[in-house]
Amino acid sequence: MNFFGAFTALVTPFSADGVRIDLARLEQQVKFQAAGGVRGIVPCGTTGEAPTLSEAEHESVVECAVRIGRPLGLQVIAGAGSNSTAHAIHLHRLAHRLGADASLQVAPYYNKPSQEGLYRHFMMIAESCPLPIMLYNIPGRSAVTITPETVARLSVHPNIVAIKEATGSMDSASDIRRRCGISILSGDDSLTASFAAVGAEGVVSVVSNLVPDRVAALCAAIAEGSLHEMRRLHDALYPLARGLLSLDVNPVPLKAALHQLGRDSGAVRLPLAPASDATRSEIARLLSVANLHAVDATPLRTAAVEARA
């Protein structure tokens, strides 16, 4: 697989009380992403509140993403990480059985393994089945960083083909690119353009849940080397992208935004708490500035989607 362009880190829609997954809403979300022209979707990641999903829920979300997304031309990278190597292998094999194109493997959280521990963890997963792996480097949540040296060691394995780099560090992205040819995707919407300058090829995006067409256009401008268009699109996306990741912990602001657009119940599961009144007010302002309203929730079937179908 070639990993480049815009991939949407999907929310997991819940009922208003948060008790069950709203699979009908999830299907709508996947179709909305396809209509917006993104390259792929990432269910059961951070944005999808994966730690709160039961085993059966996790399987149902990935199954839905594959069943709806693949016929529409979307690549599906299923979140399958864990701080237990045995459990990560189980989820990786499950993603393979369900027909995902790859799995997203986060650095083990809470355990705080050494670099050698990280190396052995990911290598055991890579050896467990032929499904490609996108590493997920997010020290702000996992408390450990996959160093560029370790990324380079891991990239020798043919199944370890990409990394979602959510360190927020240009130095880290630059050093990874200097050491190996693994595909780098930004893990922060506000840094997509910046990371592209040092060799990143796209983004695993939060804001594309709202505006997949705009994030896809940004990645197209990057691929085409259109600096002026890239800057224009980045500047337009920046306030909303920063707000979604700074007003509260992800995906609380995003779900509040989707709710205001009529596309989600807005419910999050504990230990996350709903957005405050102040946060919802600021989100409403950012949506208005971005010219996003409830009418925009209905995806239009673009020529690109027609061609894929």
- H or E segment to which residue 40 belongs: strand 40-42
- CA–CA distance, 172 with 182 (Å, rounded to integer): 13
Q: Is 136 a catalytic residue?
A: yes
Closest CA to 257 of 270, 239, 244: 244
My answer on whether omega of the bond before 271 falls inside 30° of 0, hence cis, is yes
Which one is catalytic: 31, 112, 119, 164?
164
- CA–CA distance, 286 with 276 (Å, rounded to integer): 15
- CA–CA distance, 297 with 91 (Å, rounded to integer): 32
Phi, psi of 275, rounded to the nearest 5 degrees: -60, 145
| DSSP state at residue 48 | T
Q: Is 119 a catalytic residue?
A: no
Count other C-beta atoms under 10 Å from residue 304's C-beta: 15
Which one is catalytic: 31, 110, 119, 136?
136
CB-CB contact of 153 with 181 (8 Å): no
- CA–CA distance, 200 with 185 (Å, rounded to integer): 5
User: What are the b/e assignments for 212-240, b being 16+ CB within 10 Å?
Assistant: bbbbbbbbbbbeeeeeeebeebbebbeeb
Point out which residues pair with 203 in neighbouring strands: 6, 186
- CA–CA distance, 7 with 40 (Å, rounded to integer): 5
Catalytic residues: 136, 164
